[in-house]
Amino acid sequence: MGRFLAFVLLAVVCGAFVNAKKKGMLEIVTLHLPEECSAKAEVGDEVAVHYVGKLESGMVFDMSKLPDNSREPIRFQLGKNNVIKGWEEGVKGMCLGEHRKLVIPPHLGYGKQAQGSIPPDSTLIFTVELVELNKPSIFESLSLSTPFIIGPAIVVLIGLYLCWKASAISTQQAKVKREQKQKKKK
């Protein structure tokens, strides 16, 4: 009886895992992790990645590293959405020199759009290696957060201006009323 329950529990867990994969979750497998990791890739970082892209059938549709070194790694800034969503999520958190396998479901890849030799609704399998990681300077970091700072700052400044104006108007109105009362007394 105990073995039967263990088997049923194992079947349920495996079924949940298979269903999670069917629902289209990004699968990230670390193939090589360097001994030291002084910094991890995060939003705002400039990264360079060597890659091999395959379809589920195993057909290679693109790669950045050729035997004659005639191609460069792909360079992009995390968070700018210059690459497919699966890459944005899959490269985030990588260490310099780390190798990962990314199994990217269609909605995080090219979706219903065909892309070159990639058919619509394709699951993409990439082997990626982070070969460069450049953190932004403090000024670049500020520029990334500027849209989130400027909007609220403008609202606060407008609010302060309106309060100041309202205060000036009410002070002026009070002064006019005092002058009118003084004229009536005379």
In DSSP notation, 35-92 reads: S--S-B--TT-EEEEEEEEEETT--EEEES--TT--SPPEEEETTS--S-HHHHHHHT
SS3 content of the chain, % helix, strand, coil (to 5): 40, 25, 35
Asked whether residue 153 carries a pLDDT value surpassing 70, the answer given is no
Q: Is 139 a catalytic residue?
A: no
Indicate the pTM of the whole model: 0.64
Which of 28, 45, 76, 84 is flagged as catalytic?
84
Please report the pLDDT score of residue 148 as a whole number: 61
Distance CA 47, CA 107 (A): 23
Which of 45, 76, 110, 125 is flagged as catalytic?
110
Which of 51, 76, 104, 118 is flagged as catalytic?
51
Residue-wise pLDDT tens digits, 61-116? 999 988 787 789 999 999 999 999 999 999 999 999 999 999 999 999 999 999 99
Q: Is 61 a catalytic residue?
A: yes
| Tokens describing residue 70 | 């005639």
Q: Is 126 a catalytic residue?
A: yes
Residue-wise pLDDT tens digits, 108-134? 999 999 999 999 999 999 999 999 999
Mean pLDDT of 159-179: 74
Q: Which CATH class is domain 23-135?
A: alpha beta
Please report the pLDDT score of residue 27 as a whole number: 98
